[in-house]
C-alpha cells in the first residue's frame, strides 16, 4: 500500500510541477510534509538541500530520497517512476504537437502565459525556505525571534548569486563551509 501511495504522490508532483525542479519544491513539501507526514519540515529542508547538491533533477532526487526513507529500495523505485512517468508521456505528446504546430501564434501565446505561473511557484518555494531558515517554520513570525545567522547566510547567498553571478553549487559549498565553521565555534544554525 505504501508503494502505491508513494507512486501516486510523486505522480501528482511529476504531473503538476511545470517549470522544472524549483517549481516542484512546494509540491514535494505539500505531499511529503503536510499530506503524508513522511518528513518533518526540517527533514524537508535537508531534502531540498541534498536534492539540489546532487547531480540530476531536484524532483527526481527528492522522489528517490523520500521513497528510500519511507519504503527502502522498492519505495525509491516507486516514487522515482511516479515522478518521471508524467514527463515521459507529456514530453512525447508535446514534442509531436510542437513539431507540427510550432509556427502558430496561439501556441506561442500559451507558452508565454505559463511563464508567470512558473515564476510564482519558484518564488513561493524561495519564500517558504526563507521563512524556515529565518523563523524556524513557526506560524507566528516575530522579528524578535528571527534566526539572524540563517537569515544572514540566505541574504549573502542571494546577493552573491544575483550581483556576482556565482554558480549556485559554489555558493552552496561556501555556505556549507560557513556552517561547518560556525558549528565548530559553537554558533548553531
Average pLDDT value for residue range 157-174: 91
Q: Is 31 contained in some domain?
A: yes
Domain count, the chain: 1
90 in any annotated domain: yes
- Does residue 29 sit within a domain? yes
pLDDT tens profile 32-84: 999 999 999 889 988 888 888 788 788 899 999 999 999 999 999 999 999 99
Q: Is residue 74 part of a domain?
A: yes
Domain membership of residue 134 (yes or no) is no
Q: Are 38 and 69 in contact (CB under 8 A)?
A: yes
Lowest mean pLDDT among 22-26, 71-75, 78-82, 139-143: 139-143
Residue 68, domain extent: 2-104
> For residue 77, is it within any domain?
yes
Torsion of CA 125, 26, 61, 53, to 10 degrees: 10
Residue 100 domain-assigned? yes
Is residue 25 situated within a structural domain?
yes
pTM score: 0.57
Amino acid at each position: 500500500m505504501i508503494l502505491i501511495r508513494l507512486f501516486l504522490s510523486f505522480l501528482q508532483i511529476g504531473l503538476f510541477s511545470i517549470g522544472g525542479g524549483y517549481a516542484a519544491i512546494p509540491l514535494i513539501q505539500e505531499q511529503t510534509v503536510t499530506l503524508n507526514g513522511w518528513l518533518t519540515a526540517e527533514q524537508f529542508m535537508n531534502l531540498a538541500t541534498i536534492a539540489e547538491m546532487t547531480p540530476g533533477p531536484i524532483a527526481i532526487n527528492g522522489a528517490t530520497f523520500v521513497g528510500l526513507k519511507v519504503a527502502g529500495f522498492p519505495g525509491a523505485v516507486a516514487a522515482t517512476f511516479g515522478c518521471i512517468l508524467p514527463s515521459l508521456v507529456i514530453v512525447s505528446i508535446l514534442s509531436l504537437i510542437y513539431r507540427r504546430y510550432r509556427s502558430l501564434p496561439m501556441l506561442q501565446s500559451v507558452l508565454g502565459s505559463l511563464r508567470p505561473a512558473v515564476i510564482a511557484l519558484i518564488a513561493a518555494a524561495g519564500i517558504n525556505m526563507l521563512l524556515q531558515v529565518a523563523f524556524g517554520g513557526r506560524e507566528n513570525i516575530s522579528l524578535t525571534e528571527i534566526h539572524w545567522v540563517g537569515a544572514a547566510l540566505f541574504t549573502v547567498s542571494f546577493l552573491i548569486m544575483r550581483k556576482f553571478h556565482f554558480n549556485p553549487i559554489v555558493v552552496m559549498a561556501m555556505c556549507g563551509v560557513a556552517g561547518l565553521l560556525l558549528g565548530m565555534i559553537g554558533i548553531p544554525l
